Amino acid sequence: MSIDKKFIDEFVRVTSRAALATYHLLGLEDKISADKAAVDSMRHELNKINMNGQIVIGEGEIDKAPMLFIGEMLGSMKGPEFDIAVDPLEGTNFAAKNLPGALSVIAVSEKSNLLKAPETYMEKIATSQVDKGVIDLDYSVEKNISNLAEFKNKLPNQLTACIMDRPRHKNIIETLKKMNVKLKLITDGDISGALLVSNEKYKVDIFFGIGGGPEGVLAAVALDAFNCHFQGRFIFKTSEDKNRAFKMGIKDLDKKYELNEIISGDSIFCATGVTSGDLVNGIKINKNKFYSETFVTHKSSGSKQIIKLNQII
């Protein structure tokens, strides 16, 4: 079974409308309202689709999130069964400050094919397609960089690594500097950061570091369509985190997830630009119409494209 191509347009509509909903709140330094606008819009649009959709990654658990909570059923309940992961506003800081890189993101798989990621951090590594054993989350930074350089027939100083600029990454960043690897230090938005390895035009060879677990799973769906390499491992700090993950079905808390254990089968990924960034441009409004750009992948058809739309508001 695969996901019918017709659903691409439907999910692009969902993320482009959510991006539009947030557009009006850009630069107001109000992360909560900007996120809420995207969530409300996304839920409204998802419910119009002829599907049995279930949120597996959303705004949190039912007691914490009034909508798009994990387990929530969406759609007309007539149609195929999907697992749905959403990040209605990825980069809430970007939106609140009207900075580049805010996105509205959704990933959809056939039922039971998407990893349910708890709201915790994830250690991640992503590159373009490499031979087995070249890159591994368990290797040192040095080993990954020298292996990648050898694989790409380059020197370490000809490689670029993308990583979130956080104190927790001090050691990785120091090592990369010592090896003369070029850095692309991002302040937020590690879905986009990870996706930069999907095409040479972005000039990023490797993505490293610890960011949100849900964001890791969302990025993995698109990276799977590009046949990229991705591994992730959740990081649980408190016993409460661990219990919650256990209840969600994660038995081995230290497990290193390979891409095919995060997403299997067919999938659709859509990320619409709220503000312009590395992947796509942001929403533009002209009279009664809005223009949107959406980064889209559909695994089974091999479709990978930026869908540009002019829609009536």
Query: Least distance to ligand VTB from the beta carbon of 120, Å?
Result: 10
Residue of 92, 104, 120, 272 interacting with ligand VTB (CB under 6 A): 92
**Residue 80 sits in the site that holds ligand VTB (CB under 6 A):** no
Considering the rule CB under 6 A, would residue 188 count as an interface residue with ligand VTB? yes
Q: Cβ atoms within 10 A of the Cβ of 297, count?
A: 24
What is the C-alpha to C-alpha distance for residues 88 and 271, in angstroms, rounded to an integer? 9
Q: List the one residue out of 278, 277, 255, 270 whose CA is nearest residue 309.
A: 270
| Cα–Cα distance, 61 to 63 (Å, whole number) | 6
Interacting residue with ligand VTB among 166, 182, 244, 256 (CB under 6 A) = 166
- Using rule CB under 6 A, residue 266 touches ligand VTB: no
Q: Exposed/middle/buried for 6, CB within 10 Å: 0-12, 13-18, 19+?
A: exposed
Rounded CA separation 125/140 (Å): 12
**58 neighbors 68 (Cβ within 8 angstroms):** yes
Question: Least distance from C-beta 114 to ligand VTB, angstroms?
Answer: 17
Query: Can you tell me which of 45, 110, 190, 205 binds ligand VTB, judged by CB under 6 A?
Result: 190
Backbone angles phi, psi at 126, to 5 degrees: -140, 140
Q: Is the Cβ of residue 149 or residue 279 nearer to ligand VTB in the bound state?
A: 279
Name the segment binding ligand VTB (CB under 6 A); options: 69-77, 211-219, 272-280, 286-294: 211-219
| Complex with ligand VTB: residue 190 or 293, whichever CB lies closer | 190
- Edge to edge, the sheet with strand 160-164 lists 182-186, 160-164, 206-212, 121-127, 229-235, 257-258
Q: What is the number of the residue whose Cβ is closest to ligand VTB?
A: 212
Q: Which stretch binds ligand VTB (CB under 6 A): 142-150, 187-195, 242-250, 264-272?
A: 187-195
Helix (H, G, I), strand (E, B) or coil at 196: helix
Which of residues 80 and 189 has its CB atom nearest to ligand VTB in the complex?
189
Q: Would you tell me which residues interact with ligand VTB (CB under 6 A)?
A: 90-93, 166, 188-191, 211-212, 215
